[in-house]
């Protein structure tokens, strides 16, 4: 079938709106009509050429919501008409990782996903007979996409697509980093670096668990107002701190953060996030994604003296299990999403969404199909 998609032909170039061809779902796959998709910083990161797994031409996008319109042979858990959120972290419930219950990083289709292909090693998208690659197994910047059944979360039908698409990445990543990965407890002091689409959800998660001080750090002063609405108690703009930022944060937290989160993708900031943690027990969680060739460093003494460094992907959430629950939290007003969706765009306007992010003017832009 013909579908409308924003195609990334080359790194560093704007997306191009094209009519491309999409083959139907094969065994174990479903065809989804996309209703809405958010634009995450990771899409911009891959489009920039900094992603070691970036591959072109591709259809980017991994924060969608839509409706199943057709299922391939053998699909049991989904049917046409189901409302769904595509998952870039699948949950097969059979692989070593899923059955370990130690991680959400299902490994069953990770290899082909990283190559921009469906599990059988081929692409469903093409243009003039030439394959176009999938992205993060989702390719939500198209009005139809094909997904493996194990990478689809079925959600309730009364949830608005243009809001809950954000649960496909940003909301779950931020809140999950707090609840599922760091397991922050009530009364903890938390420092969040980067108050964009992810960091605001970390703040929201910290507030949910009853954290004490919730300190937000961002170079963009415009972030302060909304972060306070989500529960931030103190705002620090590094450009206004006299002297060392880490020392300032340690003082503000009475000896160091119990938990810190890096939500930028800057390896220098990752070091600050670790080093502002409390001696003996502070845990720093890396959420931000850094470019090819970049590495983190610190004095090993920071770890010897009890600080711990860890990372999180998709907030540690098991998508098919946790995403429908998080949709319920939203529908029950236990979490907020609407204020963070600052811009609604059409597919034709998608490059504007990337520009708004670059200029620091949006939290989340959502494309509605």
* 42 labelled catalytic: yes
190-193 and 214-217 strand pairing: parallel
If DSSP codes are grouped into helix, strand and coil, which group holds residue 164? helix
What residues contact 97, with CB distance under 8 A and at least 6 apart?
Answer: 103, 104, 105, 106, 107
Q: Any idea of the CA torsion for 131, 132, 136, 137, to the nearest 10 degrees?
A: -50
* 325 labelled catalytic: no
Among 28, 39, 42, 75, binds Zn ion (CB under 5 A): 42
Q: Give the number of other Cβ atoms within 10 Å of residue 334's Cβ.
A: 10
- Check binding of 293 to ligand AHE (CB under 6 A): no
Distance CA 257, CA 249 (A): 8
Q: Between 112 and 220, name the residue whose CB sits nearer to ligand NAD.
A: 220
Among 134, 163, 213, 223, binds ligand NAD (CB under 6 A): 223
* 343 labelled catalytic: no
User: Which residue in 18, 41, 134, 271 is the catalytic one?
Assistant: 41
- Check binding of 110 to ligand AHE (CB under 6 A): yes
Distance CA 105, CA 111 (A): 12
Token look-up 């391939």 returns 72
- Check binding of 366 to Zn ion (CB under 5 A): no
140 to 169, contacts with Zn ion by CB under 5 A? 169
What, of Zn ion, ligand NAD, ligand AHE, none, does residue 118 touch, CB below 5 to 8 Å by kind?
none
Q: Interior CA angle at 88 toward 84 and 92, to 5°?
A: 80
Which one of the spans 40-48, 65-73, 133-141, 292-300 is the region binding Zn ion (CB under 5 A)? 40-48
CA 160 from centre of chain: 19
Distance CA 146, CA 6 (A): 15
* 110 labelled catalytic: yes
* 364 labelled catalytic: yes
149 to 178, contacts with ligand AHE by CB under 6 A? 169
Tokens representing 86 are: 């595509």
- Check binding of 117 to Zn ion (CB under 5 A): no
Cross-strand partners of 277? 257
* 263 labelled catalytic: no
What, of ligand AHE, ligand NAD, Zn ion, none, does residue 266 touch, CB below 5 to 8 Å by kind?
ligand NAD
What, of ligand NAD, ligand AHE, Zn ion, none, does residue 302 touch, CB below 5 to 8 Å by kind?
none
CB of 323 to ligand AHE, least distance (A): 14
- Check binding of 40 to Zn ion (CB under 5 A): yes
* 138 labelled catalytic: no
User: Which residue in 138, 165, 169, 263 is the catalytic one?
Assistant: 169
Q: How many CA atoms lie within 13 A of 167 on its CB side?
A: 33
226-248 burial: b if 16+ Cβ within 10 Å, else e: bbeebbbbbbbeeeeeeeebbeb
Catalytic residues: 40-42, 62-63, 92, 95, 98, 106, 110, 169, 364
What does the binding site for ligand AHE look like in residue numbers (CB under 6 A)? 40, 42, 51-53, 89, 105, 110, 169, 289, 313-314
Residues that bind Zn ion (CB under 5 A): 40, 42, 169
């Amino acid at each position: 079938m013909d579908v409308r998609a924003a195609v990334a032909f080359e790194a560093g170039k704007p997306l191009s709106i094209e009519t491309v061809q999409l083959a139907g779902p094969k065994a174990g796959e479903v065809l989804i009509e996309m209703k809405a998709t958010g634009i995450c910083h990771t899409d911009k990161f891959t489009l920039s050429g900094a992603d070691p797994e970036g591959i072109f031409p591709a259809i980017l996008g991994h924060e969608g919501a839509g409706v199943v319109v057709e299922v391939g042979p053998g699909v049991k858990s989904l049917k046409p008409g189901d409302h769904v959120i595509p998952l870039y972290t699948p949950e097969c419930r059979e692989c070593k990782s899923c059955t370990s219950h130690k991680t959400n990083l299902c490994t069953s289709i990770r290899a082909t996903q990283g190559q921009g292909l469906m599990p059988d090693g081929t692409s469903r998208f093409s243009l003039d007979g030439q394959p176009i690659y999938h992205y993060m197994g989702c390719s939500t910047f198209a009005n139809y996409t094909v997904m493996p059944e194990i990478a689809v979360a079925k959600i309730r039908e009364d949830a608005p697509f243009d809001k809950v698409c954000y649960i496909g990445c940003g909301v779950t990543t931020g809140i999950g980093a707090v609840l599922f990965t760091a397991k922050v407890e009530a009364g903890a002091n938390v420092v969040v670096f980067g108050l964009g689409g992810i960091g605001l959800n970390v703040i929201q998660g910290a507030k949910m668990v009853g954290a004490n001080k919730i300190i937000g750090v961002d170079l963009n002063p415009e972030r302060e107002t909304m972060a306070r609405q989500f529960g931030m108690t103190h705002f620090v703009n590094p450009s206004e701190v006299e002297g060392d930022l880490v020392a300032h944060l340690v003082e503000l937290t009475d000896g160091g953060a119990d938990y810190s989160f890096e939500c930028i993708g800057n390896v220098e900031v990752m070091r600050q996030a670790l080093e502002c943690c409390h001696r003996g027990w502070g845990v720093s969680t890396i959420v931000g994604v850094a470019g090819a060739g970049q590495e983190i460093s610190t004095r090993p003494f920071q770890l010897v003296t009890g600080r711990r460094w860890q990372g999180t992907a998709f907030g540690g959430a098991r998508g098919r299990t946790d995403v429908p629950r998080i949709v319920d939290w939203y529908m029950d007003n236990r979490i907020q999403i609407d204020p963070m969706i600052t811009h609604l765009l059409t597919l034709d306007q998608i490059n504007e969404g990337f520009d708004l992010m670059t200029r620091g003017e949006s939290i989340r832009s959502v494309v509605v199909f």
